[in-house]
Amino acid sequence: MILQKKRLLITGVRNRRSLAHAVAVSALAQGAQLAFAVQPVDKAHDKTTAILNEDFPGAPVLQCDAANDDAIEAAVTAAATALGGLDGLLHAIAFANRESISGGYHEHIDRDGFALALDISAYTMTAFAKAALPHLSAGGSLVTLTYLGAERALPNYNVMGVAKAALEASVRYLAFSMGKDNVRVNAVSAGPVKTLAAAGIGDFSKILKQVQQQAPLKRNISADEVGDAVAFLFSDLSRGISGEVVHVDAGFHITAGFNEEQ
Ligand code: NAD
């Protein structure tokens, strides 16, 4: 029970395939108290709330459009009030226009598409961190989810890779500036997992196949492996770790990478 008495705000659950859902399952199994901030999207939002009420009974579910700073502030404050403070927050939010995450990067990007992807997928981590800081206990831990496309140019990932690079740099700068408040900030770089967000990326099944062939462990990862790694980063077992990007990708990142011909 490495998360006993830890009060965590989880963002980014859309359905039971969401990596954030797996994080919540791992955190609950380790004794954490949870609150959720979910994107208010008409009918789909109702489904998400129903799933969370069923799987995590009693956990507050707050609506929060991460494009809006007031909504972030309100959700974080409501979660902290409901839980009596916060010991951690998971940021698991990303968005880009579908046409900008398929095909050639420069052919499918424009100023608005670039700004949108960077705003929702990168800036929101900083916005949540700023909102959470006054509520965080000493030793508080902020975690976000990133992908190898931040470090390498990969087919189709395009502006999302640019956004993830900004997200990873944000992790380092947040860790640097919030360290004096005894707050840690880290990222988990997850291998590909079939989720709603992943479905938008061109040739996703090809990516899964190549990871299975080339990763040192000769397999893809599962969402629960991301959940367990994030649980570790929320826990005091990782108290000496900040500003880090931990790869949970069956070791794929150490290999030569993707081969478009395969
Ligand atoms: P997902 O579709 O289940 O989650 C994405 C979440 O982002 C959704 O819950 C959605 O509601 C939320 N979101 C998007 N725009 C929002 C907004 N304006 N306000 C509030 N929430 C918003 O997919 P996922 O794969 O679980 O994605 C979670 C995170 O994990 C993302 O940052 C993604 O880039 C990252 N990641 C995913 C993979 C993968 O292969 N699935 C790999 C590495 C990193």
Q: What average pLDDT does this structure show over 141-152?
A: 98
Residue-level pLDDT at 42: 74
Q: Which of 70, 145, 193 to mutate to test the pocket of ligand 1 (most atoms within 8 A of CB)?
A: 145
pLDDT over 80 at 122, yes or no: yes
DSSP 82-117: HHTSEEEEEE------GGGGSS-TTTS--HHHHHHH
- Residue 157 in contact with ligand 1 by CB distance below 6 A: no
Backbone angles phi, psi at 184, to 5 degrees: -105, 150
pLDDT range class, residue 51, cuts 50, 70, 90: very high
Give the per-residue pLDDT at 262: 45
Return the residue whose CA atom lies nearest to atom 33 of ligand 1: 94
- For the question of residue 157 being annotated catalytic, the response is yes
Q: Which of 195, 209, 215 is nearest to 145 (CA)?
A: 195
Residue 227 CA to ligand 1 center (angstroms) comes to 14
- The one catalytic residue in 105, 123, 147, 173 is 147
Told to judge if 147 belongs to the known catalytic residues of this protein, a careful annotator would answer yes
Instruction: Indicate the DSSP class of residue 150.
Output: G
- Tokens 């507050």 belong to residue: 60
Closest CA to 149 of 99, 196, 96, 185: 96
Checking if the pLDDT of 258 tops 80, the result is: no
pLDDT average, residue stretch 65-93: 98
Mean per-residue pLDDT, 94-102: 94
Average of pLDDT values for 73-85?
98
Distance between CA 250 and CA 37 in Å, rounded? Answer: 29
Nearest alpha carbon, ligand 1 atom 29: 92
Quick one: what percent of the chain has pLDDT higher than 90? 92
The whole-angstrom separation of Cα 226 and Cα 204 is 18
Contact 56, 24 (CB under 8 A): yes
If pLDDT is split at 50, 70 and 90, which confidence band does 222 have?
A: very high
Q: Alpha-carbon distance 89 to 9, whole Å?
A: 5
- Per-residue tokens: 63: 């609506």
Is residue 143 in contact with ligand 1, taking CB distance under 6 Å? no
Please give the pLDDT value at position 201. 86
Q: What is the pLDDT of residue 45?
A: 54
What per-residue confidence (pLDDT) applies to 260? 59
What's the pTM value of the predicted model, to 2 decimals? 0.97
